[in-house]
A and B are shown apart, each in its own frame.
Chain A
């Protein structure tokens, strides 16, 4: 029995070491340099077109809930988030309004008086562009592995904390595009967005942002 426990501990330790080897915390100078580069990249990102796969992980479920869609962003604040499978649902953030199209049923929410929606919109834009480096709002930690940078943003404000305990943004090391956003909740549950087929700074007409 003792031998078994010893073997088990050894295996766990080995796996942990592999984990540590895969993801290393970055040094201060290195992270400062990375942050500068990402902000520069974000400032020159005028449009993003990308497909996405969303996984909703609820710890008690057998499988994550998977949905597929398309994201279009145009600077400074136009964004269309469209789910295509397994349901049709899209939202457009435009001129302080949220335009919703729920499989043909259209509605509108005025965001000018809705503080929490406004901050959500701003968070979405910042996370998609990859620039969430606001130290008043987040505790920030930098990591890297062979292919990617991982930056963890822990919200300081209780209003954000109540629904997202931590944002983990994964950046492609070469392009510095955000390729994954993971939003962890206070429990083991999280939402993971994977971006694929990304096009940056392609021409995007304003007509895209109608709903």
Chain B
């Protein structure tokens, strides 16, 4: 009896410790054993579709407006191009697996660190199959924890329609990046907003019928 009491005490201490170390994003949600191995983001997954958005990118002091194009070329291979409204390219990236091939980037924003950040952001935006490490839920949402390139991120799905509504990349202490998907039509997010919380980088995308 004494031993089991001690065991209970130790387990409680461990639980308290675990809760206090839990990730900021999942705080307030109820944890459960994963019900899925993989969750899917299908917003940029159709090989036959050109995903064309009117966009505003705020990159440090630069406010860049233009056309943002995403095209799936193959499995784990996407092309992402940003041009001005006149058609002049600002950048032209190819995302292959976890790497980025820069076909073109405007001199003004041609910085290694920025390219790395944009690559991480875009990988998060388009990554189709996300392996589930942990699962949480609230009354309205199912939240799945995944990991990519050593970084943890939460995929928020609406419980009613199973629609991916938000991705949050977070460390243990704070949220670093949020991507919000809104206004759904034909399984397509018409509005996408991406915000860095610790860098002056943000992006707003509005789908244009083409």
Q: Does A20 contact B (CB under 8 A)?
A: no
Q: Tell me if A58 and B81 are in contact (CB < 8 A).
A: yes
Q: Tell me if A87 and B54 are in contact (CB < 8 A).
A: yes
Q: Tell me if B83 and A56 are in contact (CB < 8 A).
A: yes
Q: Does B196 contact A (CB under 8 A)?
A: no
Within 8 A of B (CB), among A74-96: 81, 83, 86-87, 89
Looking at A58, A60, A67, A87, the one whose CB has the most chain B CB atoms below 10 A away is A58
Q: Tell me if A65 and B67 are in contact (CB < 8 A).
A: yes
Which A residues touch B63, using CB under 8 A? 107
Within 8 A of A (CB), among B68-97: 69, 71, 73, 79, 81, 83, 85-89
Min CB distance, A93 to chain B, in Å?
Answer: 12
Q: Does A54 contact B (CB under 8 A)?
A: yes
Which A residues touch B89, using CB under 8 A? 163, 185, 189
Q: Tell me if A60 and B54 are in contact (CB < 8 A).
A: no
Looking at B54, B69, B87, the one whose CB has the most chain A CB atoms below 10 A away is B87
- The stretch that binds A, out of B25-33, B35-43, B44-52, B122-130, is B44-52
Interface of B is mostly: strand
**B209's closest neighbor in chain A, by CB?**
A86
Distance, CA A100 to CA B67, complexed state (A): 16
Q: Tell me if B71 and A60 are in contact (CB < 8 A).
A: yes
Q: Tell me if A63 and B50 are in contact (CB < 8 A).
A: yes
Given the known interface contacts A60-B71, A63-B50, the answer about A86 and B87 at a Cβ–Cβ threshold of 8 Å is no
Looking at B69, B71, B85, B89, the one whose CB has the most chain A CB atoms below 10 A away is B85
Which A residues touch B208, using CB under 8 A? 86-87
Number of interface residues of A (CB under 8 A): 24
Distance, CA A189 to CA B87, complexed state (A): 10
Q: Does B65 contact A (CB under 8 A)?
A: yes
Q: Tell me if A86 and B210 are in contact (CB < 8 A).
A: yes
Q: Tell me if A61 and B71 are in contact (CB < 8 A).
A: yes
Which B residues touch A102, using CB under 8 A? 56, 65
1/0 per residue, CB under 8 A from A, across B170-210: the answer is 00000000000000000000000000000000000010111
Which B residues touch A147, using CB under 8 A? none
Q: Tell me if A62 and B83 are in contact (CB < 8 A).
A: no
From A63, A83, A89, A187, give the contact of B210 (CB < 8 A): A63
1/0 per residue, CB under 8 A from B, across A135-154: the answer is 00000000000000000000
**B66's closest neighbor in chain A, by CB?**
A89
Which A residues touch B67, using CB under 8 A? 56, 65
**B103's closest neighbor in chain A, by CB?**
A187
From A66, A83, A183, give the contact of B85 (CB < 8 A): A83
Which B residues touch A83, using CB under 8 A? 85
Distance, CA A63 to CA B69, complexed state (A): 12
Given the known interface contacts A83-B85, A163-B89, A191-B87, the answer about A62 and B209 at a Cβ–Cβ threshold of 8 Å is no
Given the known interface contacts A56-B67, A60-B73, A107-B63, the answer about A65 and B52 at a Cβ–Cβ threshold of 8 Å is yes
Given the known interface contacts A60-B73, A60-B79, A89-B65, the answer about A65 and B86 at a Cβ–Cβ threshold of 8 Å is no
Distance, CA A65 to CA B83, complexed state (A): 11
**B94's closest neighbor in chain A, by CB?**
A60
Distance, CA A84 to CA B169, complexed state (A): 37
**A-B contacts besides A61-B71, A191-B87, 12 pairs, CB < 8 Å:** A56-B83, A60-B79, A61-B50, A62-B50, A63-B210, A65-B69, A65-B210, A66-B210, A86-B209, A87-B208, A102-B65, A107-B63
A binding-site residues for B, Cβ under 8 Å: 54, 56, 58, 60-63, 65-67, 81, 83, 86-87, 89, 100, 102, 107, 163, 183, 185, 187, 189, 191
Q: Which 10 A-B pairs have the closest CB atoms?
A: A191-B87, A86-B208, A56-B87, A87-B54, A61-B50, A89-B85, A102-B65, A60-B79, A62-B50, A163-B88
